[in-house]
Amino acid sequence: MGSQILEGDICVVGGGSAGLSVAAGATQMGARTILIEAGRMGGECLNSGCVPSKSLLACAKAAKVVREAARYGLSVSEPRVDFSLVHDYVQRVIRAIAPHDSVERFTALGCTVVKGYAHFIDDRTVEAAGRHIRARRFVIATGSRPAIPPIPGLDTVPYFTNETLFDNTCLPDHLIIVGAGPIGCEMAQAHRRLGSKVTVLDLGPMLPKDDPEAAAVVRRTLTVEGVALIENVKIVRIEQRDRGVRVIVHEAGNENAIDGSHLLVAAGRIPNFDDLDLKTAGVRFGAKGIDVDRRLRTTNRRIYAAGDVVGGYQFTHVAAYHAGIILRNALFRFPAKTDLRALPWVTYTDPELAQVGMTEAEARHALGTGFRVLRADFTESDRAQTEGATDGFVKAIVSRRGYVVGATIVGQRAGELLMPWALAIAQRSRIGSLTGIIAAYPTLSELSKRAAGTFYAPMLFSRRTRAVVRFLGMFG
């Protein structure tokens, strides 16, 4: 062959969330594992996604707490934001987590790490860094990258994506964000709280995959905090200005100009597989990702794919879940299949918006009238009242027979409140499993029990129940 041949039991292409989870698990279970990564270990989540974005949101929340301290009887001045120090905080968090994803850690585990770009040269061989790599099984976990919409003029102006935003050390004077999905909304609130003027533009509604009633709570908060949300608007073109950018939009029959200092494109993501030569390996793919079955096998049964590269739900926890499915299939020949009935996701605005299972709209489409909506508002929580965070609600979707099929929570720490609902869906539990537990007082968790309890309220407080109680009372 003329190149050094490296052989193993499993070869993972991509050192992001999915790839690292497969590589760590396979190595520790005794498989000869090869991991190929050309860029930074940890992938998008560590370096330009979940970790830096949530770190920036933490900084922004601290600024909000200082700004609103007077409501608690505390006298403080408006916070002075040093954005370069905010940047440093975000980078410190990344550095603190990075050793867990490092080449050194994986080498110490016994994994062979190859730094370089990979591509298939046949249906069972990959080439990377001048080496030919053969393995019994391959895993493609190359993730995704920001989608760049075909807006006239966008290629003539500087702009951020999530891959470059967290390298910025200067607070934008006016940040224009293209895209009102989770990334756009989170970064809009973070920058607004830190002192930027922010405008968000979207061709459709904000957070379109979420429950509209819950999204409305987030919309209201962003608007109150001063974020300009312009939904269902067409961007005509983008122009360079001396000190920033100008975005021309078509709105209500007119063209309007919005001038900003900086531009962030947050208009979705596309899978990374362009340079892998997948056709050579006999792997079928499309615009949305690599084709896989429920066992995450590609059309080449030696090759699996995991994480963002398969399209669908592009979350770090889905990538980790995919890794577990692949390990059971590839190492133990156990026919594990994906089951996303209990898939959770969270948008980390303040208030947070969390979802698991079906939304109300999805239940109406799938079940017709055969479901009930159970609800408890944050105003009913004593803990929420003590913290002055009463905006939001818990909404559970339950089948007519009482099985939990979905839950939407919008409010303070909504993501932390989602787990019992996810467990109920995964275990195919009835709503009684939540009404029977004891929730500590005062906690926000009481809201889930309160919502669950409303399933039985029509029966417990019915005319028949009152008659039974009165009848039994006749016997002393």
Taking CA atoms, 184 is separated from 60, 157, 212, 228, in Å, by: 15, 19, 17, 12
The mean-pLDDT minimum among 167-176, 205-214, 250-259, 351-360 falls in 250-259
* Per-residue pLDDT at 3: 61
- Tell me whether residue 142 is annotated as binding: yes
* Per-residue pLDDT at 242: 87
* Per-residue pLDDT at 4: 75
Across 280-291, average pLDDT: 97
- Tell me whether residue 181 is annotated as binding: yes
CA distance 342 to 62: 32
- Tell me whether residue 180 is annotated as binding: yes
Instruction: Give the domain ranges of the chain.
Output: 4-41+102-146+270-332, 154-267, 344-460
* Per-residue pLDDT at 32: 97
- Tell me whether residue 360 is annotated as binding: no
Position 472 pLDDT exceeds 90: no
- Tell me whether residue 186 is annotated as binding: yes
User: For 86-125, what is each residue's pLDDT tens digit?
Assistant: 999 999 999 999 999 999 999 999 999 999 999 999 999 9
Q: State the architecture of 4-41+102-146+270-332 in CATH terms.
A: 3-Layer(bba) Sandwich (3.50)
Name the percent of the chain lying above pLDDT 70: 99
Q: In the CATH hierarchy, which fold is given to the domain comprising 344-460?
A: Enolase-like; domain 1 (3.30.390)
**Can you tell me whether residue 203 is helix, strand or coil?**
coil
- Tell me whether residue 54 is annotated as binding: yes
- Tell me whether residue 144 is annotated as binding: yes
User: For 17-49, what is each residue's pLDDT tens digit?
Assistant: 999 999 999 999 999 999 999 999 999 999 999
Across 408-423, average pLDDT: 98
Across 247-261, average pLDDT: 93
* Per-residue pLDDT at 282: 97
Residue 80 CA neighbour count, 13 Å, CB half: 1
Position 301 pLDDT exceeds 90: yes
Instruction: Identify the CATH number of the domain defined by range 154-267.
Output: 3.50.50.60
Tokens coding 124: 């069972």
Helix ranges (H only) for 82-199 are 83-97, 103-109, 162-165, 182-193
CA distance 336 to 333: 9
Residue 1 pLDDT grade (very low, low, confident, very high; cuts 50, 70, 90): very low
Across 450-456, average pLDDT: 93
Name the percent of the chain lying above pLDDT 90: 92
Across 292-306, average pLDDT: 97
> Comparing 4-41+102-146+270-332 with 154-267, is the CATH topology the same?
yes
Mean pLDDT of the chain: 95
Q: What is the pTM of this model?
A: 0.94
- Tell me whether residue 184 is annotated as binding: yes
Which of 9, 7, 14 is closest to 290 using CA atoms?
A: 14
User: For 322-371, what is each residue's pLDDT tens digit?
Assistant: 999 999 999 999 999 999 999 999 999 999 999 999 999 999 999 999 99
Q: CA quadruple 106, 107, 112, 118: dihedral positive or negative? A: positive
**Can you tell me whether residue 287 is helix, strand or coil?**
coil
Across 301-305, average pLDDT: 97
Residues 114, 7 contacting (CB under 8 angstroms): no
